A = this chain, B = another copy of it.
Amino acid sequence: MIYTCDSCRFLFSRAAEPEQCPDCGKYTVRKATTQEQREYQVRLQGGLAEPAVKEKAKENPYDNPAFFTKYAQMDRSRQGLSAAGEWHALEPLLPPFAGQRVLDLGCGYGWHCRYAADHGAAQVIGTDISRRMLQTAAERNAGEVIEYRCAAMEELSFPNGSFDIVLSSLALHYVYDFAPLVERISRWLRPDGTFLFSVEHPVFTACGSQDWEYDGEGQIRHFPVDRYYSEGSREAVFLGERITKYHRTLTTYLETLLRCGFVLRHVVEPQPPEEMLDLPGMRDELRRPMMLIVSAVRS
C-alpha cells in the first residue's frame, strides 16, 4: 500500500498504515490518492522513488574505525560461518549453488560469497556499503568468480533476471524501507529464483535498546517488547557504539514478500546449536528470538 504524509509530502510504501510519518515523524499519514500512487510508480520505475529514503538508508557504522575494530574481534568475524549462531539453521536452507549466479546484499567479510563460490557458483557479486568490510573480504574471501562492489543496496541496479539466488545475511535491518528493495530483488531474480535472508527478529528490534531487562542484582529478568507496531529507526548500542537499525513487524517482512510475488519456503527463528550453549550468554538466547531467517522463491 502506498501512503503519503500531509505535512512533508513524503510518498512511501508500507504493508500497513503507520501512525507516524517515517520521514518527518508527524501523525499526518494517509493513504495516497490514485494520482499520488501513479507518481510513486513513476518514481519507482525511474529509480527516483522515496528520495528521502536514500539519504537515511545509508547506515554505515562498519566504516567507523572503532566499530570496525570491535567487529573484527567477534567469533563470527574471526572464524567465519561456523562460528555464527544461526549458521546451523541457515545452511540447510541454502539452495544448490552449482552453476548459479548469486548476489549477496550486505556481504560484509564475504563469508557467504566464498561459500557460494566453493559450492560451484558460476558468478558471485557481493555488495556492501563499507569499504573496510570489502577490503577484508578481498583479503580473506577472494575467488575467481567473486566480485565485490561497494554500494548501498538501495542504489544497486541490475537487468531483470540477472540472478538465480539473492542472499542477505543480517543486513536488511539497516535498510530504511523494505518494500522498494524487495520489488527490485524480485525483478533481479529469474522466475523460481531464491531469495534467502536473515535479519534481526522483530521481537529483538521492537523496543530499540536490544538489551535485557535486569533485576537489582544484574540478573536477566526477561526481554522487553514495546513500540512493536511503530516501524522505523531505532538507536541501539552494538559493540559499544551507537548504531541505527530499522524495526519492521513480521507482518511487513512476510506480507511484502507475498505481495511482491514470492512464495514462502521457510520461516525460521534459529536457536543456538547444542554445542554452543556453553559459550557465555548463549543459553539466554533460548529466552527470546534474536534472528529471523526467511527463504522465498520468486513465482
Q: Which residues of A contact B (CB under 8 A)?
A: 16, 19, 203, 206-207, 213, 221-230, 249-251, 254-255, 258, 263-269, 271, 286-289
Contacts and interface: CB of A to CB of B under 8 A. Distances in A.
A271 B269 CA distance: 22
B225 A251 contact: no
Copies in the complex: 2
- For A221, A249, A263, A288, the residue with the greatest tally of chain B CB atoms inside 10 Å of its CB is A288
Contact of A222 (B225, B251, B268): B225
Contacts of A230: 286
A227 B286 CA distance: 7
B249 A286 contact: no
Given A222-B213, A250-B250, A228 B268 contact: no
6 contacts: A224-B225, A226-B288, A227-B286, A229-B271, A254-B267, A255-B268
Nearest to A286: B229
A289 B255 contact: no
A-B CB proximity, top 4 nearest: A222-B224, A222-B226, A254-B267, A229-B286
A236 B265 CA distance: 33
Contacts of A268: 251, 255
Interface core residue of A16, A222, A224 (most chain B CB under 10 Å): A222
Contacts of A222: 207, 213, 224-226
Contacts of A228: 203, 269, 286-289
Nearest to A277: B19
B249 A269 contact: yes
A288 B225 contact: yes
A203 B228 CA distance: 11
Given A213-B213, A225-B222, A249-B289, A266 B255 contact: yes
B255 A265 contact: no
